[in-house]
Structure 1
Amino acid sequence: MLIYGLKNCDTCRKALKSLPDARLVDVRADGIDPAVLGRAWARFGGDLLNTRSTTWRGLDEADRARAPLDLIAEHPALMKRPLIEAGGEFYLGWTPGTRQALGLD
């Protein structure tokens, strides 16, 4: 199981603590495979882009109009997190629904 996120993100830390067999992929330090990003985008669409982040607020209108996957590749903090890959499936966020789907609740 892989958790794509940021090592300093509190929500990613909570997910990692609850999923001790998971490995964190720090998207800022390690990047994210474009194929993984493409599959996640196909599954979640615009929900993958975190438009509430400080990074998003710092972008000008021209940058915000760019292709979302290009923005996430350039600014990994724009990806909603955690993005969890387990058993070939993707889960986004550390919501009650995600925890239930992973058998934790």
Structure 2
Amino acid sequence: MTETILYGIKNCDTVKKARHWLDERQVSYRFHDVRTDGLDPQMIKRWIAAAGWGKVLNKVGTTWRKLDQTVKDHVSADNVVDLLMEYPAIIKRPVLDQNGTITVGFRPDQYALLFNL
């Protein structure tokens, strides 16, 4: 059985846009709120393997800006999973898992290609 999962935070504007896009086109998906439904390291490692940790890590959001500069200066492939687990709000959103294909961020044209719409 195939499944589409949209990972994000329910109050995030970009996640809202992605959900609206999917709902409007009647695309079946399950929403997974990374704050309330949780995360596991294996999930994050799959995203990083597919997209690269630099793309999964959101360096433009408020949570990133509030982090201690030493933490920001020392983020690397070796510790980024732990950092994303500790601060799920610094994950670039949404993350879409469509039958194992991982897409980070929301672009309507990219979603249209993924879903052949």
Tell me whether the two structures share a fold, i.e. TM-score over 0.5.
yes
CA contact (8 A) 1:47 1:80 kept: yes
Q: What is the match of residue 58 of structure 1?
A: 66
Q: What is the match of residue 103 of structure 1?
A: 115
TM-score, with structure 2 as normaliser: 0.80
Q: Percent identity?
A: 40
SS at match of 1:30: coil
Q: What is the match of residue 19 of structure 2?
A: 16
Of 35, 38, 50, the residue aligned with 2:42 is 35
> What is the CA RMSD across the aligned residues, in angstroms?
1.6
CA contact (8 A) 1:4 1:83 kept: yes
Instruction: Measure, in 1, the Cα distance between the counterparts of 2:91 and 2:45.
Output: 12
Q: Which amino acid aligns with 1:86?
A: Q
Structure 1 residue 61, shift from structure 2 partner: 2.1
CA contact (8 A) 2:92 2:104 kept: yes
* Higher alpha-carbon Rg: 2
Given the alignment of the two structures, is residue 88 of structure 1 paired with residue 100 of structure 2, yes or no? yes
Instruction: Measure, in 2, the Cα distance between the counterparts of 1:69 and 1:97.
Output: 29
CA contact (8 A) 1:51 1:78 kept: yes
Structure 1 residue 102, shift from structure 2 partner: 2.1
CA contact (8 A) 2:5 2:31 kept: yes
Structure 1 residues not aligned, in runs of 5+: none
SS at match of 1:19: helix
TM-score, with structure 1 as normaliser: 0.89
Instruction: Measure, in 1, the Cα distance between the counterparts of 2:22 and 2:40.
Output: 22
Q: What is the match of residue 84 of structure 2?
A: 72
Structure 2 residues not aligned, in runs of 5+: none
Structure 1 residue 101, shift from structure 2 partner: 2.8
User: Highest relative contact order (Cα 8 Å, sep 6+), 1 or 2?
Assistant: 2
Which stretches of structure 1, 4 residues or more, deviate above 4 A after TM superposition?
none
